[in-house]
Structure 1
Amino acid sequence: MEKVYRIDGMKFFAIIAIFFIHFSVFQYFQGDPTHPLYLFFNSVSRFAVPFFFIVAGYFFHHKVQQQGWRYTQRYISKIVLMYVSWVLIYMLAIGYSYGNWQPVSILTLLYHGTAGAEIMWFLPALIWSILAVYIAQRFKRTTTLLAIASVLYAIGLCGQGIQIFFETPWFSSSHQFFKNSRDPLFFALFYVTLGYQCSQWSLQSWSQKKPQGLWLAIALIGSLMTFAECYF
């Protein structure tokens, strides 16, 4: 498929957003984790991870239509190699540097992605989501998968942003499986499937017909709502 320059441009801003989320100098202002500036940077940058999941699903649709399982296998193999390599690097670096050799379980390694370092959760989440989308498209049920993923995502929100309104005991560090709703099932699956469906429904050509001011307004409103959710 031809290059989509708008997506490349958004990737640049998404990478900067990831930097804002994780770089320590932006984590606190004046020693206050509830400082409005910290909350602003942290909240408006949260679009980045969902964006990368959506983009992965979007481009996966084009490739899987042409090459099927052969492409899917290569794609997943590359992610697995990347994931295993960095897990080993983090485990060795943290183990030798701090003497903190953390135990590894099947769930932390294959599902939660927290073996070695928690920031690696993105990769196994992407692997499982791509596998689910591939199976769904084989049976021509990607729309059904999106509906199911939407329900799971709504449940997952009860363990994240809206837990103040809909508190649930499902997601807790004391559980083996439901440790965190930012995982393959309750988070990544929705965004990857959404990206796949956006490509399948040819929403790119539809969106290009809309004025750019509309998308800017939506982005600003969304950012303010995210900041308000985080602040209050």
Structure 2
Amino acid sequence: MERNNAIDFIKFFAILSVVVIHVFPRDSQIGLFILDNFSRFAVPFFFTASGYLFGQKMIHKRDSFDYFKKYIIKILKLYLCWLFFYMMYDVLILYKDAADVPKEFAQYINHFSFLDLIYYGTGTSGYQLWFLTALIWSVIILFGFFKLKKARLLLTISLIFNLLGLFGQSYSVFYDLPL
């Protein structure tokens, strides 16, 4: 499959948008409000681009399940490596700052849950790992709909959920959807 330069071009602006979302202060200035909300296309774009590229590979591969399995394992390895990194980082900070290290360490270990690690991608200071767990679940869902030949239905459902999420969070200034 050839490289898609249009996707790479938009990725550049999406990366800048992610930086804008996380760096600019949240205050009442209208310019920052507009900039922050305009930048909200970035994360849905990354999911859409990943799904599109995954789908293209699925179309062109004879053994689509084998490709699916390799893709999931690759993302899972990436997630687990970074999860281990952030866990070690957290433990080092704990040993540096804690007065009662065994008690603090026990609390750190006890606050982990399977749901946090596998579904939400949280539990460590590496909160940004949520993207990898969400990508894994998204690819699993996409693969299932792809096998059922219902990818267009999934696109429609995803668009509806995305709009609901936007009005439930980012665009609640316009219409507050309490979900």
Give, in whole Å, the separation in 2 of the partners of 1:12 and 1:150. 23
Give, in angstroms, the shift of residue 47 of structure 1.
Answer: 1.8
Q: Secondary structure at the match of 1:48?
A: helix
List structure 1 runs of 4+ shifted beyond 4 angstroms.
none
Structure 1 equivalent of residue 92 of structure 2: 96
Q: Does 1:86 align with 2:95?
A: no
Amino acid in structure 2 at the alignment position of 1:148: I
Q: Does 1:134 align with 2:143?
A: yes
Residues 151 and 35 of structure 1, relative CA distance in 2, 3 Å threshold:
closer
Give, in angstroms, the shift of residue 57 of structure 1.
Answer: 1.0
Residues 16 and 153 of structure 1, relative CA distance in 2, 3 Å threshold:
closer
Structure 1 equivalent of residue 113 of structure 2: 105
8 Å contact from structure 1 (residues 87, 115) kept in 2:
no
8 Å contact from structure 1 (residues 133, 142) kept in 2:
yes
Structure 2 equivalent of residue 119 of structure 1: 128
Structure 2 equivalent of residue 34 of structure 1: 28
Q: Which has the higher contact order (CA 8 A, sep 6+)?
A: 1
8 Å contact from structure 2 (residues 51, 139) kept in 1:
yes
Structure 2 equivalent of residue 9 of structure 1: 9
Note the residue ranges of structure 1 that are not aligned, 5 or more in a row: 171-232
For each residue in 1:52-93, what CA deviation from the matched residue of structure 2 results, as whole angstroms up to 9, or x when unmatched?
Answer: 111101111111112211111111111111111111211221
Residues 45 and 150 of structure 1, relative CA distance in 2, 3 Å threshold:
closer
Amino acid in structure 2 at the alignment position of 1:140: K
Give, in angstroms, the shift of residue 40 of structure 1.
Answer: 4.0
Larger proportion of helix:
2
8 Å contact from structure 2 (residues 75, 136) kept in 1:
yes
Question: How many residue pairs align between the two structures?
Answer: 163
Percent identity, aligned pairs only? Answer: 34
Give, in angstroms, the shift of residue 158 of structure 1.
Answer: 4.5
Q: TM-score, normalised by structure 1?
A: 0.62
Note the residue ranges of structure 2 that are not aligned, 5 or more in a row: 99-103
Amino acid in structure 1 at the alignment position of 2:76: V
Amino acid in structure 1 at the alignment position of 2:86: Y
Structure 1 equivalent of residue 101 of structure 2: none
Please point out which of 35, 46, 52 is paired with 1:52: 46
Give, in whole Å, the separation in 1 of the partners of 2:163 and 2:13. 26
Give, in whole Å, the separation in 1 of the partners of 2:44 and 2:152. 19
